[in-house]
Structure 1
Amino acid sequence: MQQPLHRQLVLAIAAALPLLAAAQDSAPVDRVVITGSNIRTTQKEGASAVQVIGAKEIAASGKASIADVIRSIAANSGNSYNEQYTGSFSAGTAGLSLRGIGQKNTLILVNGKRVSPYATAQDLQEVFVDLNSLPMAAVQRIEVLKDGASSVYGSDAVAGVVNIILYKEFAGVDVTGQYGGSTEGTGQREKSAALQTGFGTLDGDGYSVVFSVDAQQRDTLNQTDVAWMRGSDFRGNPSGTLAWTPTNYVNGNPTQLLGGVQGPLQLQPYDAITPGKSGQVLAFNPAQYRTLIPGIKRVHASLRGTVKLNDNHEAYADVLYGHSRADQIFGAPLTVGSGLRAWNNAKQQLDNIPVVLPVGHPNNPGSTPLPINATLFDLGARMKQDKVDFFRVLAGAKGNVAGWDYDASIGQSGSKLEETVQNFVNRYEFEKVLADGSYNFVNQAANSEAVRNRLRLSTLRPAEAKLTTVDFSATRELLQLPAGPLGFAAGAQWRREEMDSQTSTAVLSGTELRPAINIINGTRKVAALFAEFNVPVLKDLSLNVAGRADHYDDFGSAFSPKASVRWQAAQWLLLRGTASRGFRAPSLPEITNSTSVSYGNVIDPRDPLTPTQARGVTNLTIANPDLKPERSNNLNFGIVLAPSSRTSVGIDYYHIRTKGVIDTESADNIIANEATAPNKVVRDAQGRILTLYRQYANQGDRVVSGLDLDLRHTLPLAAWGKLTFNGQLSRVLKFEAPLAVGEPLTDGAGNNWFGSIPTWRGVTSATWDIGAFTNTLIWNYVDGYDQTSKPGERVKPVGTLDATVAWKATPAATVSFIVQNLTDKRPSWDSSTTFFDFTQADPRGRTAAVKVNYKF
C-alpha cells in the first residue's frame, strides 16, 4: 500500500503546479504560521490544539530554565526525566514526554527547525532533545502542539510537537539577574543572569540582529541535605523499611560478618532492612553517597540575523550554543562480591571476577578459600561529571516568487558529551591485591594510600550526535473558492543523523569493574516529500489534508496522512477534529550497531536465597537490525467555547493507538519462560541470576487516550486592575499495553505498570495586575496512583503553590520576588522507588528568589 500512496502524493504536488501559475495573487492579509501546519492563516484557534506560552507567562512562572517551563505543562503526563535521574547514561539532562509515551515521541523544534538530539540515549533507547541545552533569554514564546504531526514533521512527532520560537527583532538591552535558594536548610543556592540585546528593524533599516546570553549555576543537593531523607529510615511509611545497605559478609550470608564496625558501617537488625529476616548485619546509610539533584553550571548563547534583500526576499542565519556541566556523587564506593564482572570486548560479553580470599590471606583465618562481599569505603564515593557542548548553525532565505511564499534552509547541529568518573576500581590491580593480601578488607584504615591509588580508576566516556538538515517549503493560495482561498503548501527535507556514543578505554580493555556500557554507533539518511491543502468548504468550515512520505536508508519508507476539520459553528463556538497516521522510526540505538550493559532489580522465584525479594542483576541489551517502525493512528476531537471576548473554554479528546511498540522483553517474562529460552538467563554456581540477555523487538500495541481542558478568563476590576485566570487540566482515560508479548492489554492509567501515570495533572494560575504590581499564584497538581506491586497501596496526590510578585519600580526596572512550593509540600512517598517518583515530584521543598530586570 505504501508505494501507491507515495505516488499519489507526488502526483498531487505535480498536478498542483500548473494551477499555481494561473492563480491570481490574493490581497495581502496578516497571516502567521502556527505549529503543526505549513500554511499561513489568520485563525487564532486552528484544527489542532496548540498551547501558547508567551514571554509574560514565562516570566510570571518564576522558572529559571526553559526545561522547567516546558516540563510544568499538564500534558507532560509521565515518563519524562530531568536531572533528578542521576543514575542515567544522560545525567544532567531534561526531556519532555507528552502523553506519557516517551521522550522519543515528542519532537522539539527551535524556530520551526530540528535540533540535534542529546549525544547519547536515555534509558538505552530514548533519543531525545536535551532541553537544558537550549537558550532561555531569547525565547519569545513556546507553542505546544498536543496532537500527532508526523504528516508535517515526520518521525518523533507521534505525541506532539514543542516549537520554541526566538525573537526575530529586539530593540534595546534587557538585563536580568536572579538569586535564591532553599528556605529549608538544605544549603542549596541558585543564581542566574541573562542579557538580551538587538538592533535594526526589517521594515525601517532592512536588517535585524538579536543576541542573547544566559547563565545558570545551582549547588548540588545530596540526600543528606534533606532532613526527612537524611537517615534513610522510612519505616513510618507504607511498606517502608530502614533503607540501609548490608555489606561486609562472607559465604553469601549477610549475617556472617566480615570483621566488625568500621568507617560508616554499623550493626543493624536484619529484619529492619529486609522484613522476615533474623540476626544482625553490618550496613551503611547510603544517603551520604546519593545525589538527588546534581550541581550545574550552564551557559547558553543565541545570535540571529536577518537581512532584507529586497521587497520580496530576505536572508537569515542563526547560531545557538549551549555548554552544560553537571556534577554529582555517582554512588557509594564499589561493593565487590558475587556477580562482580568486567567486559570482555573480544567475546562481547561479561567475564565473572571471583571475589574469594585465598588461604593465607590476612582476612581469611580458615583453611579453605573464603567468598566475601565487601565495600571499599576507603577509596571514597564514586563521582561523576558530565560536560555537554551543544550547537546549531542554520542559514536560509525566505520570500515570495511568482506568488509563492518559500523558505529554504541548511543547517547543522550537534551535541558532544564528555563524562568523567573518579574512584572506580581497577580490575587487574584488584585481582593482584586479592591474591597477595596487600589490601585489608576488615580494617580499611590500615591500608596505605599507595594501595588505594593502585585500585582507584578514573575514566572518560565520550559521545557525540550530529544532525545535518536541508529544508525547503513553499506555500500559496492556489485559487479562490466560493468560501475562500484554497491554500497549498509543499516541500522537501533531507537530513543525516549520526550518533557515536562510546565507552571508556578502561571498559573496553576489561580494566573497569562493574562497567555500565551504552555503545551506539550509527548513521542514517532520511529524505521526505510533503504536501498540504487547506480547503474552505463553507465560509466557516475548512478542511485541511496533509501527507508526508519519508524514506530511511536503514528500514525503508513510511507514509503519514492527516485530515483535519475546523468548523466555526457560531461566533462563540468552534468545533475541530483531526485524524492521522504516524510513525516512529527505530532509533539508532535500537536498530544500528549498539550494545548496552546496565543494572536492575528482579524478583526470581527460583533464587535459592531470596525468592521473594528483589535482587540486582546485569542486563546485556543489543540492537535489532530487523526492526519495523512503530505505526500510530491518532484521533483528536475538540470544542472551544468563547461566550465573551474575555473567556474561552477548550475541551479536547485524544486517542493514540501505536502498533509494534519497540522495547525489550520484560525481565519478569524472561524469567518466567526460562525453560523455553535458557540462553537468555545466566546463573552463578549457587543458582542465582547474574545476567539477562535482551534484544529490541516490536513487542505489541499501546493505546493511550485522554482529555485536555483549557480555561482562560480575564476579569476587569476597574481601579483595582484586572485578574487573569488560566488553567490546563489533563485527564488520562486509558494507557494500555501488554505486560508481556502475547498477553492482553493492561491499563496503566492511574498506576505504575508502565511508569507512574497519574490520572489527573493540572496547572492553574491567577494573575492580578494592579498599578505597578503583577502578582501571580500557580497551583501545580499531580494526582495519586496505585502501586501495582502492592495491591491496595496508593501513592498520595500532591499539590504545590508557586507565587511571584513583580514590582515595576521604574519604567525601566522590575523587581520580582519568587517563591516555589510556597507551603513546603513534601513529595508523596512511593515504596516502589527509593523514596518518591522523581518523574512526578521534586525534593527541594520551598525555595525563594529575587529577580531584577532592567531595560535600557
Structure 2
Amino acid sequence: MTFKLKSLPFAISCAIASGALVASLPALAQTTEAAGGAVPQRVVVTGSLISRADTETPTPVQVLTAQDIQRSGKTSVAELLNDLAANGAGTLGTGFSGAFANGASGVSLRGLTVGSTLVLIDGHRMSPYAIGDDSQRSFVDVSNIPFDAIDSIEILKSGASSLYGSDAVAGVVNIKLKKNFTGTRLTAEGGDTQHGGGATHRASLSTGIGDLDKDGYNAFVTAEWRHQGAIKVADRDQFAWDNRDWRSRGGNNLTLGVPTSLNGNLVAASSPFLYNPSGTGGANNAANFQFLDPSCNYTLYRAGGCAVRDTTGFIQPESENLNVLLGMTKKLSNNWELAFKGSMFKRDSVNNRGVPPTYSPTTYAGATTLNNGVLVTNVGRVPSTLFAPGAAVGANLTNTFANNARLYGYIPGLDGASQQDNTSTSTRLALDLTGSAYGWDVNVAGGLTKVKVDIDYSGYVDRAALYRLINSGQWNVLGNNSPALIAQVSPRFSNSLESRLNYFDAVGSRELMQLGAGPLALAAGVHWHKRTWDAPASSLTANGQVGNTSAFVIGSETNTAAFAELQATPIKNVELHLSSRYDHYDTYGNSFTPAASFKWTPVQQFALRGTFARGFRAPNPAETGNAGSFFQYNAINDPILCPTGNQYAAGTPVNGACGINPAYVQTTSQNLSPEKSKSYTLGFVVEPVRGLNATLDYYRIQVNNQIVTAAGNDPNYVPTFVRNPVSPTDIATGVGQNTVVGNPSVGLISYAQSPYINAGSTKTSGIEADVNYRWRLPSDMGVVRAGLSAAHTFSYEQNVAGVVYQLAGTQGPSIVSGATGSPKNRAQFSLGYAQGPLDVNATVNYTSRFSTLDPSVGGDSCASSALDVGGRTYFQGLTQPDYYCHVASFTSTNLNVQYKLSQNLTLKGSILNLFDKQPPFDVGTYGNASAQTSYNASLHQAGAVGRFYSLGLSYMF
C-alpha cells in the first residue's frame, strides 16, 4: 500500500490547507485559534455527532485523504483497504475467487470478521452485498467504489454501536464521497504485470459547475471505467508456491493427471480411459486400462506423462467496473442546504471454483442434497457408474473388457471449471438537509440503496444427461461435440439476487449551557431502516439438476432506534463524552448500548484519551430467515467405512471414505439473540515539535454470545451423518492396493445438518500506533513526509465449546473467510518527498510470520497442519517438514511518482511490489486458487501478482 494513514488532526489540516505542500500547524494548537487568527473550521468526525474544531477525538480515528489515494498507485479501493494495519483475520479479498461472496471485498477490523465492521457511505448505511461472507455475514462490498468519487475515508477503530447501531463492534469505515466539484478533470492510466496477466486500465471524467459560495449551488458528475485482466494459475506456475508437485519439498505429487497412492493410482488424465476395477492387480496392472486415444498409454500415465495443466483457475479474476456519481447541492435561505447524491456502481467479474469437471465415479454417484438439507435420490442421479462389456462409451467407442468398467477423464467442450460471471450493481439515492433552527444544528437524511447481483453459471454438469448421452453413443468422450449436445451436458443458467436497505436519519445538536470549563453540548437523533434480502438459490442447483449447490437467503428486518450524545468540559483540559442508543429489531427485540470516553490535555503537546463501549451485532436474515447453504470445515475419516484411516484396509471404500471433508448443511434458527461486545481503548496523542505527531492506543474487545454453527462450537453437538444410498464402489481387499467392486455396509456420507446457535466468545487485545513527520527543507528544497502505521496483537482468544484457544500468531480462526491467518504484527512505513512539480512516495508494507496451526479446529501438530487446518493433502500420509509449520513474514514496497508537466497536466507512474517479492508458502489456508497454489491470498496477494507497472495522465481545466 503506497498511502500513509495519518492521525486525524494532521490529515484534516492538510485537506483544509490551500495546497499539498503547505505545512500544517500542530493540531492540538488549533483548538483555540487557527492560523492568522481565523475562527477554526468545525467538522463532524466519525465517531461523534457533535462538531468540533479540535479534530483529535477521544476515539482513535485514522483518515485517508483523496491525495493519499492518488499517491497510493493502487487502482481499487479494495486493494487500498486490504493493506490497513488494523485489517485482520476474516478480511475478504478478490484473490479468493471461490468464496461464497465471490467478486466482493470486505474489511475486518481487529480480525473480528467483515460482519463486525460497519461500512458507511457519507455517514449513512448502505445496502450490504447480496451474498453473505460464508453465506452468513453481511458486509458492504468496497470493491466497486470508484477512486475519483471519494473525498476521504475515515477509519474509526473503536466500538461505536452507541451511535451507529448493529455491526459497529470492531469499528467503522466511513467512506465520504465528494460533496462538490468545479471544472473538468480527465484521467487515464494503464498498467501490466511483469509475469503476465493482470493488465489494468482505468479512465475517469469529472466535471462540475457552480460555486456554492458565489452561485449558491453546485452540480457535478464523476464517471469512471476500470478493467483488470485475469491472472491465471498457469501464469505463475513457474514459481514453487504455484506448483502441485511437492516431492522435492518432502510431500506428495498432486499434479493433475498423475496417479499416486493418494488417488488410488486412478485419476482423470489428459486422455480419457476405461478402467476394469475387477481385474487382477487393480490399478497396478496395465491390462485393466483401456486408453481411448493414442495420446496417452499406461506407461506414460504411470510415469506422469499424461498430466494436466490448470489453465482455468484464477489467482486474480477478471473484473470490469463502470461507476457514475451525480451530486447536486443547493443553498437555501437561512443557511439551510440541500444535497442530493445519486450513484450507480457496477462491477463485472468472472469467478470459478477450480479445475474442469471430470468423468469419474464422483461425477455420477450419489444423490442430490438440496440447500435446505433435503436428500433427493431421483433427481440428477444415474443408475450406475459402471459401463457393461460391449456397451457404448460415447460415439464409436465401446467397453472392450469382459467386465464392467469405469470411465475416467476430463469432460471436453465445457467452459473450464464451474464458473460464475458475476454482475454486481450498487445504486444509491440520498438526500441530506442541513441547517439551523431554534438553536439546533440539524441534519435530516434519507436514502434508497440497493445491490443487485446477476450471475450467469457455466461449466456445471447435468450428470443424468451426460450418462444418457454416453450410453446412447451420441456423446464423444474425446471432444468435438456439437453445441447442442454440450448445452445438454452443461446447461447455462442464471440467477438474480437482491439486497435493499432504505434509511431515514434525523440528528440535532446544540450547546445547552456552560458547565465547568466549557459548554455542555448535546446531540440526539433517530434512525430507521428496512432491509430486505431476496437471494434465492439458482434454478438448476435448487432442483438438483446439476451437481452443485448455491446458498440462498430470503428474509427482512426493520430497525428503529433513538440515540444521544453528551459532550462536556467539566474542568479545564478534560473532555468527556457520554452516548447511548436504544435499538428495536422486529426479528429479535431490543438492544441498549452505552459508551463513554475522555480526553485529558494537560499541556498543548500531549493528550491522554480512552473509551469504553458496548456493542452488538443483530442476527441477520441469513441466520434467522429462510436460508440455507453448505460448508466444510474439518477433515475426518468415515467412522464406519474408514475407522482406521487407512484407505487400503480390508473392507474400506477407496473413494470417498478416508481423509474426507464432510459437507454440512447450514440451517437457520428463529431463537437467536444478538452478539454482544465490550470494548476499551486507552492511548495518547503527542506532538512534541512542529510537524511531528504520534498516537498510540491500546484496545481490548470481547464479543460474547456469538452466532456460530453448531458443528465444532456446541460441545453437545454430535453430527448425524445423512448417507447416500448404497451403490457399488471400489473396496480394498487388504492386499496391497488391490480393490474389488462391491457394496459397502452403508452409503458414503452425504452431509450432516448444523443449525446456528449462540455460543462461545472471542477476546482480542493489542496496540496500534501512528507516527507522522513533515519536514520543510531549508532554502525551498522541498518537503519530506514520513509516516508509520503499525498494529500489534497481544492476544486473540476464542472460546470454542468451553475450551479457550490462543490464536494470535496462528492460522486461526481458520473457519472464517478462507483461513486468512492472524499475524501478530502488520505495519506500513511511507516516505515521501515533494518539491515544485515533483511528488515521490514510497511505502513499505510488512506482515509478520505466523503459524499454520489452528488449535481451535484440532490443528495443533506441525506434522499435519496442512491437512488439519486447510484440508490440503500436500503431506498426507507423510510427515510435514517443520519449515511449513510457519508462514514467513512478507514485505512489499510500492513506489509512486507524480510530476506536473504544466499547471493542468500531471504525469503519474507507479511500480507496485517494486522488488518483485514472491508470497511465502501458506499450507494452512484454503482461501486461494485451489490446491494448485499455497499462498495466502488475503495477506500476500501482492506477491502472487508480482511486480506491476503503471503509467497515467491527468488533465484539469
Which whole-Å CA distance do the structure 2 matches of 1:76 and 1:35 have between them?
Answer: 18
**8 Å CA contact retained: 2:289, 2:298:** no
Q: Distance in 1 between matches of 2:543 and 2:722?
A: 25
CA distance in 1, matches of 2:888, 2:250: 11
**1:477 is matched with which residue: 496, 507, 511?**
511
Q: 2:945 matched to 1:844?
A: yes
Aligned counterpart, 1:5: none
Query: 1:727 is aligned with what amino acid?
Result: L
1:467 alignment counterpart: 501
What's the counterpart of residue 244 of structure 2? 232
Give the 3 Å change call, closer, same or farther, for CA 770–586 of structure 1 in structure 2.
same
The 5 Å alignment of 1:452-463 reads 452-463=486-497
CA RMSD of aligned residues (A): 2.9
Does the 8 Å contact 1:710/1:729 carry over to 2? yes
Partner of 1:274: none
Give the superposition deviation at 1:428: 3.5
Q: Is 1:627 the equivalent of 2:627?
A: no
Of stretches 830-839 and 681-690 in structure 1, the one that deviates more from structure 2 is 681-690
CA contact (8 A) 1:805 1:817 kept: yes
Q: Any residues of structure 2 matched to 1:391-790 within 5 Å, and which?
A: 391-433=427-469, 435-436=471-472, 438-439=474-475, 444-445=478-479, 451-512=485-546, 514-598=547-631, 602-604=635-637, 606=639, 608=642, 611=645, 614-666=659-711, 676-679=718-721, 686=744, 688-719=748-779, 720-738=781-799, 740-754=800-814, 755=819, 756-788=821-853, 789=859, 790=861
Between 1:259-268 and 1:361-370, the stretch displaced more is 259-268
Amino acid of the residue matched to residue 791 of structure 2? S
Q: For the structure 1 residues 801 and 294, does the alpha-carbon distance in structure 2 shift closer, same or farther, using more than 3 Å as the test?
A: same
Q: Name which of structure 1's ranges 228-237 and 772-781 shifts more when overlaid on structure 2.
A: 228-237
Shift of the 759–230 alpha-carbon distance from structure 1 to 2, 3 Å rule, reads closer
Q: Counterpart of 2:11?
A: none
CA contact (8 A) 1:601 1:614 kept: no
* Cα distance in structure 2, aligned partners of 1:692 and 1:629: 25
Identify if the C-alpha distance between structure 1 residues 465 and 255 changes in structure 2 by more than 3 Å, giving closer, same or farther: farther
User: d(CA) in 2 for partners of 1:266 and 1:366?
Assistant: 16
How much has 1:370 moved relative to structure 2? 4.8
More off after superposition, 234-243 vs 824-833: 234-243
Give the equivalent residue in structure 1 for 2:868.
Answer: none
Tell me the CA shift for residue 214 of structure 1: 1.0
Structure 1 residues 465 and 337, CA gap change in structure 2 (3 angstroms): same
Confirm or deny that 1:209 pairs with 2:310.
Answer: no
Could you tell me which residue of structure 2 aligns to residue 800 of structure 1?
892
Q: What is residue 421 of structure 2 aligned with on the other side?
A: 385
Distance, in Å, in 2 between the alignment partners of 1:160 and 1:265 is 58
Matched position secondary structure for 1:806: strand
The alpha carbon displacement at 1:208 in A equals: 1.8
Deviations 1:361-408 (A, max 9, x none): 345555665566654244341332111111000113111001101111
> Cα distance 1:407–1:673, how it changes in 2: closer, same or farther (>3 A)?
closer
Corresponding letter in the other structure for 1:63: K
Partner SS for 2:159: coil
1:457 is paired with a residue whose SS is coil
Paired letter, 1:847: F
| TM-superposed deviation, 1:495 | 0.4
1:348 maps to 2:374: yes
Q: By how many angstroms is 1:119 displaced?
A: 1.3
Q: Is the 8 A contact 1:503 1:518 kept in 2?
A: yes
8 Å contact kept, 1:82–1:839: yes
Query: Shift of residue 421 of structure 1?
Result: 1.6
The Cα offsets for residues 116-136 of structure 1, whole Å up to 9 and x where unpaired, read as 111121211121111122232
The offset of 1:698, in angstroms, is 1.4
Q: Which amino acid aligns with 2:844?
A: W
Which digits, 9 at most, give the CA deviation of each residue in 1:519-542, with x for residues without a partner? 100011110000110011212101
State whether residues 82 and 94 of structure 1, in contact with CA within 8 Å, keep that contact through their aligned partners in structure 2: yes
Distance 1:372 1:405, change over 3 A: same
User: Would you say the 8 A contact 1:312–1:401 is kept in 2?
Assistant: no
Identity %: 27
Give the Å deviation of 1:678: 2.6
Question: Cα distance, 1:571 vs. partner?
Answer: 1.2
Aligned residues: 814
Aligned-pair distance for 1:692?
Answer: 2.9
Amino acid aligned to 1:656: I
CA contact (8 A) 1:581 1:631 kept: yes
Q: Which moved more, 1:692-701 or 1:648-657?
A: 692-701
Within 2, Cα distance between the matches of 1:707 and 1:208?
43
> 1:289 deviation in Å?
2.5
The one of 298, 301, 321 equivalent to 2:344 is: 321
Q: Which has the higher contact order (CA 8 A, sep 6+)?
A: 2
1:577 positional shift: 0.5
Q: Distance in 2 between matches of 1:251 and 1:569?
A: 83
Q: In structure 2, what residue type is equivalent to 1:158?
A: V
Alpha-carbon shift at residue 309 of structure 1 (Å): 1.0
Give 5+ residue unaligned stretches, structure 2. Answer: 1-37, 258-262, 269-274, 394-398, 647-657, 727-742, 854-858, 863-881, 926-930
Deviation at 1:665, TM superposition (A): 3.3
Structure 2 residue corresponding to 1:829, chosen from 921, 931, 937: 921
- Once residues 716 and 298 of structure 2 are traced to their aligned partners in structure 1, the CA distance between those partners, rounded to angstroms, is 39
After superposing the two structures, state which structure 1 stretch, 47-56 or 503-512, moved more.
Answer: 503-512
1:239 to partner: Cα distance: 5.0
Separation in structure 2 between the aligned mates of residue 340 and residue 848 of structure 1, nearest angstrom = 49
Counterpart-to-counterpart distance in 1, 2:643 and 2:290: 22
Q: Quick check: 166-175 or 414-423, which moved more?
A: 166-175
Which residue does 1:190 correspond to in 2? 200
In the other structure, the counterpart of 1:180 is: 191
Per-residue deviation, 1:313? 1.3
Q: Is the 8 A contact 1:598 1:620 kept in 2?
A: yes
Pair 1:854-2:947 in alignment = no
Deviation at 1:88? 1.9
- Once residues 268 and 599 of structure 1 are traced to their aligned partners in structure 2, the CA distance between those partners, rounded to angstroms, is 37
Distance 2:439 2:614 in 1: 31
Q: 1:536 to 1:242 in 2, by over 3 A?
A: same
1:283 positional shift? 6.9
Contact 2:811 2:924 (8 Å CA) reproduced: no
TM-score, reference length from structure 1: 0.89
Displacement of 1:29: 6.1
Q: 1:582 to 1:348 in 2, by over 3 A?
A: same
Q: Is the CA contact (8 Å cut-off) linking 1:490 and 1:532 kept in structure 2?
A: yes
Structure 1 residue 244 and structure 2 residue 256: aligned?
Answer: yes
Write the distance in 1 (CA, Å) between the matches of 2:307 and 2:643.
Answer: 22
- Structure 1, unmatched stretches of 5+, are 1-26, 271-278
Paired amino acid for 2:913: N
Matched AA of 2:497? A
* Gap change, CA 1:445 and 1:209, over 3 Å in 2: closer
Q: Which amino acid aligns with 1:196?
A: S
How far apart are the structure 1 equivalents of 2:305 and 2:708? 39
Q: 1:15 — aligned with what? A: none
Q: 1:517·1:598 contact (CA, 8 Å) conserved in 2?
A: no
Query: Are 1:665 and 1:741, in contact at CA under 8 Å, matched by a contact in 2?
Result: no
| In 1: Cα distance, 2:562 partner to 2:582 partner | 5
Compared with structure 1, are the counterparts of its residues 506 and 642 closer, same or farther at alpha carbon in structure 2 (3 Å cutoff)?
same
- Structure 1 residues 151 and 660: CA distance shift in structure 2, 3 A: same
- Kindly indicate whether the alpha-carbon contact (under 8 Å) linking 1:254 and 1:281 is maintained by their aligned counterparts in 2: no
**1:487 and 1:533 in contact (8 A); partners too:** yes
Q: 1:357 aligns with which of 383, 386, 398?
A: 386
Query: What one-letter code is carried by the residue in structure 2 that aligns with 1:192?
Result: R
User: What CA distance in whole angstroms lies between the structure 2 residues aligned with 1:535 and 1:211?
Assistant: 41
Alpha carbons of structure 1 residues 600 and 746: separation in structure 2 relative to 1, 3 Å: closer
Read off the aligned partner of 1:106 and give its amino acid letter: T
Separation in structure 1 between the aligned mates of residue 324 and residue 223 of structure 2, nearest angstrom: 4
